[in-house]
Structure 1
């Protein structure tokens, strides 16, 4: 996940390794989610939702790792596009189990449509203008994340306190990490941002794995 490729060699190594670890954990996470769903004889919607979420995690960490690990300029442009598109995928993917498994209400379905529509628009914008509208993209990422407040009352009813706490903690960690995302003068700022992404993603994974159950 990068807004620039102006990092030194050591920084890029740290950037690639940090999300390379995330890629491995994402694959393990998807397997765990699917094994649990199958063991519990979950319905098709639950299995699909877990697959979408796990796939979005893998896509995010794969895109980021490749972007930072591959130095070839010609490849960078396409990898940067993949990297930024994957951010939208992870945001929308993270919503999916909560909205379609835990809630399954008309409001949740409506929010699901809005979030995935915004993700699709964002992806198309990134494909067309990957080097432009950086601040707008950042605002869009944050706005999409905090639109979850629309269903906070329903989540409070259907999620246990532990799940709601992990969900909120993940959102706060992602948001605080943005400080380092934009702080270009701080050494290894992007690797620090990656650490926040890993922590936020871990919180959301635990919330989904431990607390998201069909109603």
Structure 2
């Protein structure tokens, strides 16, 4: 009789599903987490992956095209920041990374936006401004970039609208120098500069509000944001090319 009771208890223990420390079935949390994590659109990262070699070659041609060594040095800085932005973004968004590596790449990704904004203004300032005006613009954009990098690394949980708004404000900081850009480089420089800024701004607003999101499976709101950065970067490259003469 005792052996029968022991056998029944053993069968009940065998039939009972394993649980975690909270009393939930083991593996439920993992499956729930996987289900709650949406799959990335299939185009995620491809725009920046394609842009990386293109902007590398284009800025190399710009450096060759530029006559002054100061302009070439500024454009070399621009080249490095462009590769940082588009190259790291492609690696981050196309890869499948561990949480630790993903977090690191995400910090780089967000930091590189501010660095690239400053990098873009560097050749514009060097090629078209002089004296205190040049120094002031460069100090403002690079100081803003340093602050933004610090914020994105120390406060990764900041509201999306807040840090996106800071990127937009930083991108339009040089609006006060537009009259000098117009006099030094002509209307073409300013038109392409503003066109690029508008592309960046539209993409950033879409990113901030996650709308429109046309195809979550293929091409979502994040891809629209990336498209805005690609077109905006191309417009600014034309502006810098015209400024270089």
TM > 0.5 fold call: yes
Does residue 112 in structure 1 map to residue 138 in structure 2? yes
The answer for the alignment partner of 1:100 in structure 2 is 126
Does residue 90 in structure 1 map to residue 116 in structure 2? yes
- The offset of 1:212, in angstroms, is 2.8
The answer for the alignment partner of 2:223 in structure 1 is 191
Give 1:80's match in structure 2, choosing from 100, 106, 126: 106
The answer for the alignment partner of 2:179 in structure 1 is 153
The answer for the alignment partner of 1:34 in structure 2 is 63
- The offset of 1:79, in angstroms, is 0.4
- The offset of 1:184, in angstroms, is 2.5
Q: Deviations over 1:73-121 (max 9, x none)?
A: 3311000001001001111011111112211241231121011011011
Gaps of 5+ in 2: 1-36
The answer for the alignment partner of 1:68 in structure 2 is 93
Q: Does structure 2 conserve the Cα–Cα contact (< 8 Å) formed by 1:80 and 1:130?
A: no
Q: Does structure 2 conserve the Cα–Cα contact (< 8 Å) formed by 1:22 and 1:61?
A: yes
Give 2:39's match in structure 1, choosing from 8, 15, 32: 8
Q: Deviations over 1:136-174 (max 9, x none)?
A: 211111111111111111111111211111011001111
Q: Does structure 1 conserve the Cα–Cα contact (< 8 Å) formed by 2:189 and 2:240?
A: yes
- The offset of 1:133, in angstroms, is 4.3
More moved, 123-132 vs 148-157:
123-132
Gaps of 5+ in 1: 1-5
The structure number with the bigger radius of gyration is 2
- The offset of 1:194, in angstroms, is 0.8
What SS does structure 2 have at the residue aligned with 1:15?
A: coil
Q: Does structure 2 conserve the Cα–Cα contact (< 8 Å) formed by 1:59 and 1:86?
A: yes
In the aligned structure 2, how far is the partner of 1:168 from the partner of 1:144? 14
Q: What TM-score, normalized by structure 1, do the two folds share?
A: 0.87
Give 2:75's match in structure 1, choosing from 50, 53, 75: 50
Q: What TM-score, normalized by structure 2, do the two folds share?
A: 0.77
